Structure 1
């Protein structure tokens, strides 16, 4: 039970203000369908955190911390630029779901965004620390849900008042700051 509670608390705190929490807000703003988004976050998190314990240690032996830091920094900067590019759903297809549907899109983008994220790394470390793999995965998943579900529900209401373009610009700035920090500040 200790592994579960510690895993939940650490990941819930680590997720506050994280890029995946920002992604949850953007998905809520874009699609206005909270249930498929929440379920997509749950599925993506379970899949990602279940793999983190097994794959995370292996990947970190292949890629040094310096290379990983550079890759993450560049990824954040690319995401910042991408946030500023309006896509067809906003311009032409308002109200239509993407080809994967809201649930499928959420699973895919959330799973990918969580790769190399601090909560994924925390999951790897917690799984190594405790001999309770299922409790760690369950705890880290609950922590992610505690941090992201309110953002999906409240984010939808906030975006009714704030234009989506403003959300994109603020998101781009946050991603750019994270990218610069990752590149300039050693881990």
Structure 2
């Protein structure tokens, strides 16, 4: 009886639709905040997220596609290359360098829209990580920039975490000497904040897998 059940299980696995087995692959497209600038190996936000998902019993692989200095336009231009990994889900963290360089918010919005549209076209569930412009850029710029993320999340039906650096920004105890990049303690807090959203993203990805 046991042997028959085991053989039946092997049969089901052998003929399971492609993509329904194995870890959920999450592409994290971003800047130095994703890449882990100044952080020891294993303390980057993607690595911390993967560790937290594993501890919660979630089989996943978080792909670190962060590039230091990237603007949203840069990230959009390399998305096709990143999609070659055939991710099941995506986390998008872009825009911080746009604000630091004073790039017009309309340009940033077009680039992020391009990213989200490509992910939507491939039916990749997505979590958009919001950013806020430095307050010293003036109220008009701040209003225009900050409005980008909720507007695009609504347009594309993506999940939204309102502000990636919530609870970490401007805190010297949680940032490196440059005041812009989180230290290990700051990265841990960010990963903890994103974690519930990442779990929900995995659930969406699994539903998509079974629907294939």
**TM-score scaled by length of structure 2:** 0.29
Where is the helix percentage greater, Structure 1 or Structure 2?
A: 1
**TM-score scaled by length of structure 1:** 0.32
Where is the strand percentage greater, Structure 1 or Structure 2?
A: 2
Structure of greater relative contact order (alpha carbons < 8 Å, 6+ residues apart): 1
